Chain A
């Protein structure tokens, strides 16, 4: 298509900081986060909504950033994995638990899992193991390190880590 498409400008708050972004309407939120905002903690895996690596919080809800256009985000508050640590820079409970339980191996899927678990455990303070597994079912770990991730979630809920897997 040779027709000129006008760029769109949106104002978004990313990890507490207000940013203006100008981009083509077709640019995915995931690509804007990585390329325009240079927050490369958000990973892109499948880029069609299957793997969950690009999960971010939009207005508090965990969503796949590869299934949104940045053009839609005017006024939105976005949290990426870079915004998950505590204000003093120490690891959040979820991040700490992922480390304690070997919840990551190669680390590619980790940002997506951290965001997913942060949202899920905020809304479910005492989930069963089945509920934890269902919550992470939309995130793929090709190292298949799921047991460590489930154990991390259990630790955040104040249950013994390790053990049953």
Chain B
């Protein structure tokens, strides 16, 4: 057996799950899809005394549109969201990001909330949540609270969730009809973690850009939102020099070196993927 020993809990309600996390404090870990957690445990990169499995909790999965938002339950499988018509029409950036995650067998089990709460800096969904100003719903001993994506990602695998809090859903704002979105990444092999990737969205009014989102992943300890480049794009409109906008997005980055790529290379790739994604997003918004 590869993982170290742990007590297994499968609570039926979110209240029980929160209670278990509180009772076992830093000994406990939430298990959702497990597609990142289980390998980390098998490689003994992580050990926990207690696993709190959310898979038997009722009401944590599901996709619904209401009030200008699409709300995706945290335990919704990535494969379910990938093939969902509401996600495809109302949160296209999410629909375009999902196929980049691992392989279909991984997405059959992996969850939308799990990926965001895991907060791997090289993964797609945290960048989507950040770029789209998603609202994260969390349950804890004091009840529920909402966290803006901008306040959620604190470091590699670190989020604003307290030890006894559970991410229960993610709400994405729905953009207008004249919008376009694109996800571009560079990875060594299909399904690998990206060396660097970009998620971009634009909403047009004629040639004016009324809303822009530029998110990057794989370029630091958290996903990065390029607010300055977004402002430059909105100021310049759909005819902007996108290579220049992309350079503005990449300039402030300081990615570190690892065995897959040097920081300097990542920074160069960041400008490339932003330019490609913006080009596609604007094309889509115009069509």
Binding site for B on A (CB under 8 A): 1, 3, 5-6, 8, 24-28, 31, 47-49, 52, 55, 61-64, 66-69, 71-72, 74, 116, 120, 134-135, 137-138
Contacts and interface: CB of A to CB of B under 8 A. Distances in A.
Contact of A62 (B2, B102, B108): B108
Nearest to A6: B7
B103 interface: yes
Contacts of B1: 24, 26-28, 31
A48 B218 CA distance: 21
A71 B8 contact: yes
Nearest to B83: A123
Which of under 10, 10 to 19, 20 to 34, or 35 or more describes the interface residues of B? 20 to 34
Contacts of A71: 8, 10, 53
B5 interface: yes
B191 A67 contact: no
Interface of B: 1-8, 10, 31, 34-35, 38-39, 41-43, 49, 51, 53, 55, 79, 102-106, 108-109, 189-191
A116 B51 contact: no
Given A24-B5, A28-B42, A72 B53 contact: yes
Nearest to A62: B105
B35 A26 contact: no
Contacts of B106: 49, 64, 67, 138
Given A31-B1, A48-B43, A72-B53, A25 B7 contact: yes
Given A55-B105, A72-B10, A1 B42 contact: no
Given A138-B103, A138-B104, A26 B4 contact: yes
B109 A52 contact: no
B5 A1 contact: yes
A63 B41 CA distance: 18
Contact of A28 (B2, B5, B53, B189): B2
A31 B106 CA distance: 19
Contact of A63 (B2, B10, B51, B108): B108
Contacts of B105: 52, 55, 62-64, 116, 138
B104 A120 contact: yes
A75 to B, nearest CB: 9
Contacts of B2: 26, 28, 47
A48 B39 contact: yes
B104 A69 contact: no
Contacts of A28: 1-3, 38, 42
Contact of B103 (A27, A66, A72, A137): A137
A144 to B, nearest CB: 14
A66 B34 CA distance: 10
Nearest to A136: B103
Given A26-B1, A28-B1, 19 more contacts: A5-B5, A5-B7, A6-B7, A8-B8, A24-B5, A28-B38, A31-B1, A48-B39, A49-B106, A52-B105, A64-B109, A67-B35, A67-B39, A71-B8, A72-B34, A72-B53, A135-B104, A137-B191, A138-B105
